[in-house]
Structure 1
Amino acid sequence: MDEKNLLIAWMEEGTISIPQLLLSNYHKLGVSETEFVLLLQVYSFLEKGNQFPTPEELSERMNLTGTECAILLRKLVQHQLISIEEGHSSSGILFEKYTLAPLWNKLTELLLSEWKSNNREETLKNETDLYTCFEQEFGRPLSPLECETLAMWHDQDDHDPVIIKSALREAVISGKLNFRYIDRILFEWKKNGIKTVEQAKSYGERFRPYQKGYQKNATNEPKKKTVPFYNWLEQ
């Protein structure tokens, strides 16, 4: 066979696409390297139209005997990483075939579980940071009622912790550091569809009047810079 025909034969052999998520997470499913390669071989046969490769066929592509391949296949079936289904040909003949659906299901469940776990950790961290921010700004530990209010804003009113922190910042800027004022800010923001820090900042700047310059007091003391604020409680 000349080089041209060799290249054509190689191209016609085709390729298989291995999902990156499978490649980076198969070990978390308890799959060994040998089992992983066997799964890829089954996948390759399925892609080529051979839906039920024999242990001997698999053995020809691996450093395993047909018996060892059969044992591994049985183990993969028992661990619900691969399954055998019945199919019917166009002429009605019954046959068996492998499916990797259990593998994809387990991989999906693993990723969802990790995502939920990471989400819980991030939520817990945000809530801890939230309480810390409030105690730092108030200069004291929060009372049980204040802690309950914070929890209500997050759990019942579904305010994101970063939005609650933004409302706290707005109250500090306005010189109205109390929970009633912050609650009013959150109410106004939710009513007006404010969901991000950028939106909250823009909304506050739009309604907080700007006051520039200095004011003289009656005793001609040094000029003091005023701090403008938007009184949310008057809305």
Structure 2
Amino acid sequence: MKEKEILINWMEEGMTSIPNVLLKNYRRLQLNETEMMVLLHIYSFSQKGISFPSFEDLSGLMTISSSDCAACVKKMIQKQVITIEQGEQTGYEFYSLTPLWNKIAALFESDARGESLQQAMTEEKDLYSLFEEEFGRPLSAIECETLALWIDQDQHDPAVIKAALREAVLSMKLNFRYIDRILFEWKKQGIKTVEQAREQGRKFRKPANTEQVSRSENAVPFYNWLEQ
């Protein structure tokens, strides 16, 4: 056979594009290597328009028997990785890989939730450390509970809580009651971001007139949130 004919036959065989997410996550789907190869051959057949290859077709490309292929397919159906569907118009059966893609998508969602939870735990830990640093002492049990309530019950963003702590420091009112009042007022006014909180703080810390500035050049003006 000439090289040109070999090349043409090679190209006509086509190529199978295997998603990297499948290669990276098949173990997490509890698939072994044999099941994975059967799955890849089913996927390859589907890309060629053959939606329901026989066990003989599959085993002919592998080193296992058709009965072993059948056992692998049965296990993958039990693991809800593939299903056998029936076409509404044609009535012919076909392998559906939709459960496989749904499972991989669920893994991504789970990973994303895990990363978010880890980030939230890190932010919460940093928040406690920051409060203890500013207060110059370990937080009491009641203060820790209050801080947890701000996060879990009141749904305040840790960054906004840090901004409220900063306001308390600048106003020289470093206590939890004052910070709680700041957060209450911000929530009532719809303040949800650090930028909004800082703008609100700058507005209320701004001296009423230039005479006040000249009278207290070295003082830090503050807004008494407890008087709201």
Structures share fold, TM-score greater than 0.5: yes
Q: Deviations over 1:94-146 (max 9, x none)?
A: 43221112222322333333333333333233223222222222223333332
Q: Which runs of 5+ in 2 are unaligned?
A: none
Q: Which residue number in structure 1 is paired with residue 82 of structure 2? A: 82
Q: Deviations over 1:135-166 (max 9, x none)?
A: 22222333333223222211221101121112
Q: Deviations over 1:200-222 (max 9, x none)?
A: 22332233216898869xxxxxx
Paired letter, 1:154: I
Q: Which runs of 5+ in 1 are unaligned?
A: 217-223
- Taking the aligned partners of 2:214 and 2:105, their CA distance within structure 1 comes to 62
Q: Percent identity?
A: 55
Q: Which residue number in structure 2 is paired with residue 54 of structure 1? A: 54
- Taking the aligned partners of 2:20 and 2:186, their CA distance within structure 1 comes to 41
Q: 1:214 to 1:19 in 2, by over 3 A?
A: farther
Q: 1:227 to 1:2 in 2, by over 3 A?
A: farther
Q: How does 1:142-181 map to 2 (within 5 A)?
A: 142-181=139-178
Q: Which residue number in structure 2 is paired with residue 225 of structure 1? A: 218
Q: 1:192 to 1:3 in 2, by over 3 A?
A: farther
Q: How far is the alpha carbon of 1:27 from its aligned partner?
A: 1.7
Q: 1:23 to 1:202 in 2, by over 3 A?
A: farther
Q: Which residue number in structure 1 is paired with residue 68 of structure 2? A: 68
Whether 1:27 aligns to 2:20 is no
- Taking the aligned partners of 2:8 and 2:100, their CA distance within structure 1 comes to 33
Q: Between Structure 1 and Structure 2, how many residues are aligned? A: 225
Q: 1:230 to 1:43 in 2, by over 3 A?
A: same
Q: Which residue number in structure 1 is paired with residue 184 of structure 2? A: 187
- Taking the aligned partners of 1:153 and 1:46, their CA distance within structure 2 comes to 53
SS of equivalent to 2:51: coil
Which aligned runs of 4 or more in structure 1 are off by greater than 4 angstroms? 1-17, 210-216
Paired letter, 1:184: R
Whether 1:112 aligns to 2:105 is no
Q: Give me the CA root mean square deviation.
A: 3.1
- Taking the aligned partners of 1:16 and 1:104, their CA distance within structure 2 comes to 17
- Taking the aligned partners of 1:14 and 1:229, their CA distance within structure 2 comes to 73
Q: Which residue number in structure 1 is paired with residue 36 of structure 2? A: 36
